[in-house]
Amino acid sequence: MRANGGNSVISGETSEPINARRTETLLFPALFRHNDLIAAMSTAENIPQKKLVNILNYLHFSESRLYVLLTHPDYPERTLIRVRHEPCSTDKLVCHWDQDCGDPDLERYNIPYLIVSYDQAVIIAPVRVLDARGSMMTLQLPEYGRLINERERPRFRCRNIEAEIWQQGFQAAGHLVDISDRAFRVHVAAKPPSSFSWFNTDETAMLRLHDGETTFYAAPCTAMYEERKVRGRDIVVTPLNDEEIKRFPPKVFRNPRLNSSTPLHVIFEHPLIKKKVQREIFDISNAGFSIRDDEKDVVLPPGLIIPEAAVLYAGVVKIGCTIQVVYRRRENDLIRFGFVILDMNVTNYKKLNLVLTTMGGGHAGTSNVVDTDELWEFFFDADFIYPQKYKALHTIKADFRNLYRKLYEESPEIANHFVYQKNGKIYGHIAMLRAYEKTWMVHHHAARPMGGKAAGLQVLKQLILYLNDLYRMPSANMDHVITYYRPGNRFPERIFGGFIDYINDPRHASLDRFSYLTFPPREAGGKLPDDWSVRDCTSSDFWEFEQFYRNSGGGLFSSVLMPEEGGGQPPLETVYSESGFIRRWRFHVLARHDVPQAFIIVEESDVGINLSSLLNGFKVFIIQPDLPPEILFSALSAMLGPDTSGSVSLLLYPAEYAETLSSGYESKNYLLWILNMQHADEYIDYLGRKYRIRVL
């Protein structure tokens, strides 16, 4: 027999609404309405006194309450009163009236039975009062109690869960009393000016269950039963959708569900009944998992949110997440419960992805475990670090090596990577970096020949599989994915650029052309004329930037720079700093007579974190095409300060502005590709239709 002292199958108790003011002492909380239990004692299972004492001590340890049954010599009704009991070591049990019940005059009442709610059953023990003084009494326990299985459908008592009911202007609040597999019993009082005369039991109502901060359940329900109490009412409601909910829009491409030969479990505390649950996982993907269970063992209504759960792999790897029940389905004698993963941080998502890759036998050769010495050899041999690029980096190579050791070995929250390798030698590589508050950048995609195998394509597939569910996680902060590439580079032009023409909707995916150059600040410096100034952006400046960018053929970059607020998460600068990295940016306006002429974004990151310095230096959006270049360069030099040495990268938009520069500045073009991740399915569909690239 499994013990669960916090569960209750006794109905009829009165529970006061949360925060309700007491105006009187309740002597009799509830009438006893289950005379059938007394009648069933003659055929019930015996519970020896020794076992009964152990159960009573367990319930005391669990801080659970007992009940005594009171009878009046002149009236037929029987009354339940809740009591607190002391530890028990003999056949005598000391009890105290619950503080809500006052001090009944025992000379006017009899106490024939002690009633114990235990493990979805009821123990009824005939007792005799040995002593009664004030609020305390001593009971003589019997040689045997009677165990009665009261319900076919178990009902679990709930604690510290607030309940709210709304219905077309009617409002009531109180708390959740108990739940069964398909019903909730709440005790609520109408909130003025609402009245229960407004409540229509034939119409749908909205039920919300929470603890004052976190909502665990909110769904439309119908009332099955309503009972008037001294304060408020007990209402039993059942959800309209008690089999399945639709948490997200259906996806065309779903990561496969896998079964594990290695033990894989989910562990969580049930948010309503405060009971620890551990179950073996039946199948799992990056998006969710399912378990199978006896319906009498656990109550998991579809829609229930479990804020703190953990997936445990092989008893060692623990992966924290927030989950929600999305369906319950009968499979022979068991119930299958499906869960969607609502959120997990990037570090835990990496762990889950690694577990799933292991379970699936791995994608031959793909991995995110890298020998950094092999990585350097690969970057040089694949001509990713070409001579001019290495010339700019060689003076900081020690810092550069340490930077990549942290990125690839310490697995920070801000980055991830995939490699295709054989016998430790790397043939394909791709990485991603959280570049802006809610945007990740794909970069460092490179490959070298491997006997006809497309190593570059393999790591791209792995990246897409990884992103396919990650973007839905709020903690991932992935509204957009971006990448830069050079015009004329055939692979990204087909894989990324071709999608722009295919989808033909800049709200789904966009492509912006920038001109890229470097300039020496000392040579370009000079004082700005008096009618020119550089200042921080104001809210009206941001509005003007959006108008300029949108009307100049721009795409999604303004959404990247100014994402929707929300989530309550730390800023990206803090996240980088906590991992030992640098990432920040500032917005400025170059103005003449206080009229914006250009918007300037000053970006700072660890040198070499992006090998093309696309996250260091300036991004300048030219509003006035006739802006004198010497004015622009003077402004940029002044912003850098006199101590800046070496060249600084500069991205100009629109790219045509570079044509106004003198021949001393050599420029090249970069294309910025941006994907709105709400349309990731469309991109995967494009890869399959256009190039027969089967990702899933």
- Domain of 164, CATH number, reads 2.40.10
Residue 646 falls within a domain, yes or no? yes
H helix or E strand, kind and range, residue 591: strand 583-592
Q: Are residues 392 and 493 in the same domain?
A: yes
Which segment of 384-398, 641-655, 673-687 scores lowest on mean pLDDT? 641-655
- Domain of 334, CATH number, reads 2.40.10.220
- Domain of 417, CATH number, reads 3.40.630.30
Q: Are residues 340 and 419 in the same domain?
A: no
**Among candidate residues 150, 170, 130, the one with its CA nearest the CA of residue 8:** 150
pLDDT of residue 288: 95
Instruction: Kindly report the backbone phi and psi dihedral angles of residue 302, in degrees, each rounded to the nearest multiple of 5, phi listed first.
Output: -55, 130
Q: What is the mean pLDDT of residues 241-247?
A: 89
Cα–Cα distance measured from residue 443 to residue 63, given in angstroms and rounded to the nearest whole number: 57
Q: Are residues 667 and 685 in the same domain?
A: no
Residue 4 falls within a domain, yes or no? no
Q: Are residues 584 and 643 in the same domain?
A: yes
pLDDT of residue 19: 34
Residue 10 falls within a domain, yes or no? no
Q: Which amino acid is at 41?
A: M
For 589-618, the pLDDT digits (tens) are 999 999 999 999 999 999 999 989 999 999
Q: Are residues 497 and 541 in the same domain?
A: no
Last residue of a domain, one of 129, 148, 167: 148
pLDDT of residue 365: 56
For 484-521, the pLDDT digits (tens) are 999 999 999 999 999 999 999 999 999 999 999 987 75
- The range of the structural domain enclosing residue 140 comes to 30-148
pLDDT of residue 159: 87
Examine the pLDDT at 284 and tell me if it is beyond 90: yes
For 30-75, the pLDDT digits (tens) are 667 677 677 778 788 899 999 999 999 999 998 888 989 888 777 7
DSSP letters, 123-154, are: EEEE-EEEEEETTEEEEEPPSEEEEE---SS-
Q: Are residues 300 and 163 in the same domain?
A: no
pLDDT of residue 33: 64
- Look-up: residue for tokens 């209750």? 8
CB 414 within 8 A of CB 399: no
Residue 336 falls within a domain, yes or no? yes
50: left (phi over 0), alpha (psi -120 to 50) or beta: alpha
Residue 14 falls within a domain, yes or no? no
Cα–Cα distance measured from residue 528 to residue 366, given in angstroms and rounded to the nearest whole number: 54
Counted domains in the chain: 5
**Among candidate residues 410, 404, 409, 431, the one with its CA nearest the CA of residue 420:** 431
How large a percentage of the chain has pLDDT more than 90?
59
Residue 123 falls within a domain, yes or no? yes
Residue 247 falls within a domain, yes or no? no
**Helix (H, G, I), strand (E, B), or coil: what is residue 691?**
helix
Mean pLDDT, the chain, rounded, equals: 87
For 384-436, the pLDDT digits (tens) are 888 988 887 888 889 889 999 999 888 789 999 999 988 889 999 999 999 99
pLDDT of residue 104: 62
H helix or E strand, kind and range, residue 280: strand 276-284
Q: Are residues 131 and 99 in the same domain?
A: yes
Sequence-separated (6 or more) residues with CB below 8 Å from residue 173: 17, 18, 162, 163, 164, 165, 188, 189, 191
Q: What is the 3-state secondary structure (H, E, C) of 438-481?
A: CEEEEEEEEECCCCCCCHHHHHHHHHHHHHHHHCCCHHHCCCEE
Sequence-separated (6 or more) residues with CB below 8 Å from residue 555: 506, 509, 510, 511, 512, 674
Examine the pLDDT at 15 and tell me if it is beyond 50: no
Last residue of a domain, one of 223, 239, 255: 239
Q: Are residues 295 and 222 in the same domain?
A: no
For 158-176, the pLDDT digits (tens) are 989 999 999 999 999 999 9
pLDDT of residue 100: 60
pLDDT of residue 3: 37
Look up residue 614 and give its two tokens. 């696309």
Pairing mode, if any, of strands 288-293 and 276-284?
Answer: antiparallel
Helix residue ranges, H only, 222-262: none
Sequence-separated (6 or more) residues with CB below 8 Å from residue 291: 266, 279, 280, 281, 282, 336, 337, 339
For 115-152, the pLDDT digits (tens) are 998 877 889 999 999 988 878 889 999 999 998 875 55
Q: Are residues 367 and 349 in the same domain?
A: no
- Domain of 610, CATH number, reads 3.40.630
- Look-up: residue for tokens 């040689």? 143
Residue 12 falls within a domain, yes or no? no
Last residue of a domain, one of 97, 126, 148: 148
Q: Are residues 624 and 560 in the same domain?
A: yes
Q: Are residues 178 and 86 in the same domain?
A: no
Q: What is the 3-state secondary structure (H, E, C) of 55-122?
A: HHHHHHHCCCCEEEEEEECCEEEEEEEEEEECCCCCCEEEEEECHHHCCCCHHHCEEEEEEEEECCEE
Q: Are residues 394 and 523 in the same domain?
A: no
